[in-house]
Amino acid sequence: MGLEEQLPSGVLLTSVEKLAGYARKSSMWPATFGLACCAIEMMATGAGRYDLARFGMEVFRGSPRQADLMIVAGRVSNKMAPVLRQVYDQMPGPKWVIAMGVCASSGGMFNNYAVVQGVDHIVPVDIYLPGCPPRPEMLMDAILTLHEQVQDAKLGANRARQVGELEQAALEAPATIEMRGLLR
């Protein structure tokens, strides 16, 4: 008689998912992808006054192969969009994205042909952080919110299916410029 017959249904798997969620949230390594003024605030968050090391984020990784969190800080031009996607594709899974600032979230005040109107048309975004530029405290709050999501994330095939559906929905979403407000 095995261990799984003696335990109530789902106890062992639930414990493993919680342990994996705790380990993932406590050891996130962000990739540096600062594009504009929001990058200054992102760098300040990693400095001594705000100290992201408290949350297990010791170093901003220069290599996407060592990172699992991408913080897109600033506006993304159409020329930079393929590079952003390439860096995202090089990151090992599971991976998460924070769109930092109004320019990364929706194009901001740059409503023209040269700036992508929301980074969610390039990569799937987990957390949108408003502001121009958002303060380091706001970035820390977004990271803690992401930690809660990561803690409760599923494992295995269910996670892969969920990420694939979110990514496909983000890529099929209409451009922000085409949206006409709350009352369509």
> Tens-digit pLDDT profile for the chain (184 aa)?
455 556 555 555 567 777 888 888 888 888 878 888 888 888 888 887 888 888 878 777 778 888 889 999 988 999 999 999 999 999 987 889 999 999 888 888 888 888 888 898 899 899 999 888 899 899 999 999 998 988 887 777 777 787 788 778 877 877 766 766 654 4
Residue 69 lies in a domain: yes
Residue 181 lies in a domain: no
CATH number at residue 85: 3.40.50.12280
Q: Say how far apart CA 75 and CA 38 lie, in whole Å.
A: 9
Residue 120 Cα to chain centre, angstroms: 10
Q: 101 with 133: CB under 8 angstroms?
A: yes
Residue 4 lies in a domain: no
pLDDT tens digits, residue range 102-156?
A: 988 888 888 888 888 889 889 989 999 988 889 989 999 999 999 898 888 777 7
Question: How many domains does the chain contain in total?
Answer: 1
Residue 135 lies in a domain: yes
% of the chain surpassing 90 pLDDT: 18
This prediction's pTM: 0.77
Residue 37 lies in a domain: yes
Q: Say how far apart CA 98 and CA 41 lie, in whole Å.
A: 14
Nearest to 128 by CA among 147, 146, 152: 146
Residue 43: CB atoms within 10 A of its CB come to 14
Residue 147 lies in a domain: yes
Tokens (6 digits) for 54:
């408290």
H helices of the chain, in order, are: 3-6, 11-25, 38-46, 81-90, 102-106, 136-151, 157-172
Which residue segment(s) compose the domain that 96 sits in?
20-173
Report CA dihedral (47, 51, 53, 58) to the nearest 10 degrees. -10
Residue 10 lies in a domain: no
